[in-house]
Amino acid sequence: MKQFALPLVLPDARADGEFIMSSSNEHAVQQLRRWATWPVMAALLTGPRKSGRSLLGRLFVEQSHGRVIDDAERQLEAELFHAWNAAQTSRRPLLIIADEPPPAWAVRLPDLRSRLNATPHLAIEPPDDFLRQALFERLFLRRGIDARPELILWLLARVDRSHLAIIRAVDALEQAAFEQRKRLSIPFARATLAAAELLPDRSSNAESP
């Protein structure tokens, strides 16, 4: 499967820092490349947990020599406010990473709220089919697990469409395969994921491969 290289400064493609770009995150990546054209020297990056948003932040710092504030909704609002202002004065870009943008993220400080409203919002969406398959393949490969194409297709049809669900499914299969000393198969995956309650209700009755 073709993997798109992140057009920022990348670590070695074999390292854990590899980032797979797809339609679900391409817009955010492209806007990070164009930080010099932002209307203000700050941007808000949001996305699901385990979506690679923190990795993008680290790569952004390497490229732009700017600053990242991760888990921003858990930081002191006064510090965020001063960091935003400092970015405008120094012309060093600030990337703010959060789960969701305001108003879903309740910002109490009016001055910070107004600045965030003027800040470009870059969103990482839930993974598309291309990215989901690439993530399954990469996770199994890195762990030295032989996962046949038919098994990955079966997983794609049943595991929830989220980065975290994919990671949890691979974790469960790796642990069960190690403990039971079995090779991965569709029946084995079905039993393992059902026992771990990692198959959503909509597929609980789907017994065909």
pLDDT tens digits, residue range 128-177? 999 999 999 999 999 999 999 999 999 999 999 999 999 999 999 999 99
Q: Which CATH class is domain 26-123?
A: alpha beta
Q: Is 53 exposed, middle or buried (0-12, 13-18, 19+ CB in 10 A)?
A: buried
Q: According to the model, what pLDDT value does residue 200 have? A: 79
Q: Options 1.10.3470, 1.10.150, 1.10.8, 1.10.357; which CATH number does 129-203 get? A: 1.10.8
Percent of the residues in the chain that have a pLDDT greater than 70, as a whole number: 88
Looking at the predicted structure, is the pLDDT value of residue 11 above 50?
no
Q: Is 37 exposed, middle or buried (0-12, 13-18, 19+ CB in 10 A)?
A: exposed
pLDDT tens digits, residue range 42-52? 999 999 989 99
